[in-house]
């Protein structure tokens, strides 16, 4: 019985190990806008992305990262019928496979994976979700109590989320290519 309890305690405490599971926050700035607009529409550039993250370290330098990132995307319209700023809350959920190159205090890494994005209702929104492919690279600095990971991340979205007839010269669409500079802080 004591042997079984010891094994169960060891299995239950494994995810709490600082070397196996890291959690924290990731935030940063988009390097391009999420909306392409012309005519009576103008993109509204929002300058930050933030959310919680979990990083599971696996053997041989591999790992799995899951994020829940919040960002605002939107546009402004100036027509006789519509005038104002229209914003949407965009939640993206990247699930990434990560490889960390050998190192001690600083380790370069690359990551790739799948991302799902959900948007709140906003005028002219055609689809309220997107899926995409993520590719990133960065450096993880292992400090005494925290790990800091600056990263450059590229996302390719699969669809446009807005519905605007371009025949009138007014265009409104979501950009399929997104580039962000992010910094993760984990414990």
According to DSSP, the β-strands at 21-30 and 177-186 are antiparallel
Q: Quote the domain boundaries for residue 172.
A: 21-186
In a domain? residue 126: yes
Any domain includes 10: no
Secondary structure, 3-state, 129-140: EEEEEEEEEEEE
pTM score over 0.85: no
- Total number of domains constituting the chain: 1
In terms of Cβ atoms closer than 10 Å to its own Cβ (0-12, 13-18, 19+), residue 37 is buried
The answer to whether position 96 is within a domain reads yes
pLDDT tens column, 125-166 = 677 889 999 999 999 999 989 999 999 999 999 988 776 766
Q: In this structure, is residue 181 part of a structural domain?
A: yes
Per-residue confidence band for 18, with pLDDT thresholds at 50, 70 and 90 = very low
Classify residue 175: in a domain, yes or no. yes
Q: Domain with 169 in it: what CATH number?
A: 2.40.160.20
Is the pLDDT confidence value at 94 over 60? yes
Give the per-residue pLDDT at 170. 72
pLDDT, average across residues 71-94: 83
């Amino acid at each position: 019985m004591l042997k079984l309890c010891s094994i169960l305690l060891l299995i239950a405490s494994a995810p709490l190990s600082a070397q196996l599971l890291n959690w924290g926050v990731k935030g940063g700035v988009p390097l391009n806008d999420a909306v392409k607009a012309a005519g009576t529409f103008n993109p509204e550039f929002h300058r930050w992305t933030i959310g919680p993250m979990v990083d599971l370290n696996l053997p041989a330098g591999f790992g799995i990262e899951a994020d829940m990132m919040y960002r605002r995307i939107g546009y402004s319209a100036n027509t006789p019928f519509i005038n104002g700023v229209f914003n949407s809350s965009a939640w993206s959920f990247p699930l990434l496979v990560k490889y960390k190159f050998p190192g001690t205090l600083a380790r370069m890494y690359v990551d790739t994976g799948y991302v799902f994005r959900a948007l709140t209702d906003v005028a002219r929104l055609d689809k309220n979700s997107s899926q995409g492919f993520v590719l990133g690279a960065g450096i993880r600095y292992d400090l005494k109590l925290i790990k800091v990971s600056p990263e450059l991340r590229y996302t390719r979205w699969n669809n446009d989320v807005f519905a605007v007839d371009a025949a009138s010269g007014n265009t409104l669409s979501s950009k399929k290519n997104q580039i962000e500079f992010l910094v993760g802080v984990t414990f």
